[in-house]
Amino acid sequence: MTTQRIWPATDGPNTSNDDGQAINVGTEFVVSTPAWVTALRWYRGTTSVNPDSLRLYQITSPSTGTMLAEVVSPVATGTGWHESPITPVAISAVTRYKSVAHMPNHYTATGGYWAGGGPGAGGIVNGFLTAPNTGNAEGGGQGTFRYGVVAFPDGTFNGGNYWVDVVVTDVDPTGTIIVDVGQAVELNSADAISVTRSYPVEQAVSIDSANAIQADIVTATITPLRKRVSGTEPQRIIAGNEPPFRVSGNEVGAP
């Protein structure tokens, strides 16, 4: 499982601004593979306040978008990046999306970021996640804003970046484990069953749940599994103490 963000924790704005009114600010992004948005991010500057809300849009035209998710930002303190988790939203490759924050007054900005010789003039690519530059953006440009009530931002100024980000993963965080007949699998059901895994029929697999599974654990309903060998059900395997085991043609099922 790979999780990507547009900017690392060490990158951020150089100014905080206050135009005396509420403002929507956003960043356009696209993925090259089916993915899931799990959180929205914003940068809290030295004089910033927290957003009223964070929203995820699918871009439908240069000036409009369909809202896919909204979350009220929790109270945050201190300068730097903050994340607000959302119920995972599936997004499609090539389709354009926008992460948006509605700020009651203060917001952070870096002028010229997306244009000219700015850091984002060529766009930003992190694995399957891309934030296109102004010339390649579709939702009114890159680094967009709109003053007033909650709305889809579509205005730009001087290639400005307003530091709204997104957290995406390429593994479905809502999935469950799939086990096929004809397979024998060793799993520590207390710790590892929430992992999304699919194996082909007639494949025999031996998994060290303490090492091979833990890296990809996601939140899901835990369904304990047990192995059946010649009609005898042995005790559950304890993580980190699994003996080698390969059997073809046996079933794995829920108790």
**According to the model, what pLDDT value does residue 218 have?**
33
pLDDT, tens only, 135-163: 888 988 899 999 999 999 999 999 999 99
Mean of pLDDT over the chain: 76
- The structural domains of the chain, with segments of one domain joined by +, span 3-169, 175-255
pLDDT, tens only, 69-126: 999 877 778 889 999 999 999 999 999 999 999 998 888 999 999 988 899 999 999 9
Residue whose pair of structure tokens reads 């035209």 in the numeric block: 61
Segments of the chain assigned E as strands: 3-5, 15-17, 23-31, 35-44, 53-61, 64-71, 80-91, 96-103, 107-109, 124-126, 129-131, 144-147, 164-169, 226-227, 252-253
**Measured between alpha carbons, how far is 180 from 195 in angstroms, rounded to an integer?**
15
Residue 22's pLDDT band (cuts 50, 70, 90): very high
The torsion angle over the Cα atoms of residues 17, 19, 22 and 26, rounded to 10 degrees, is: -50
| CA distances (Å), origin 187, targets 119, 205, 236, 238, 240 | 46, 10, 8, 8, 10
Q: Which ranges constitute the DSSP H helices of 18-164? A: none
- CA dihedral for 132, 135, 139, 145, sign (positive or negative): positive
Closest alpha carbon to 142 in 86, 190, 96, 77: 96
Q: Are 146 and 164 spatial neighbours (Cβ–Cβ below 8 Å)?
A: no
Q: What is the pTM of this model?
A: 0.69
Give yes or no for residue 202 having a pLDDT over 50.
Answer: no
Q: Are 100 and 153 spatial neighbours (Cβ–Cβ below 8 Å)?
A: yes
Range 3-169 has CATH code 2.40.160:
no
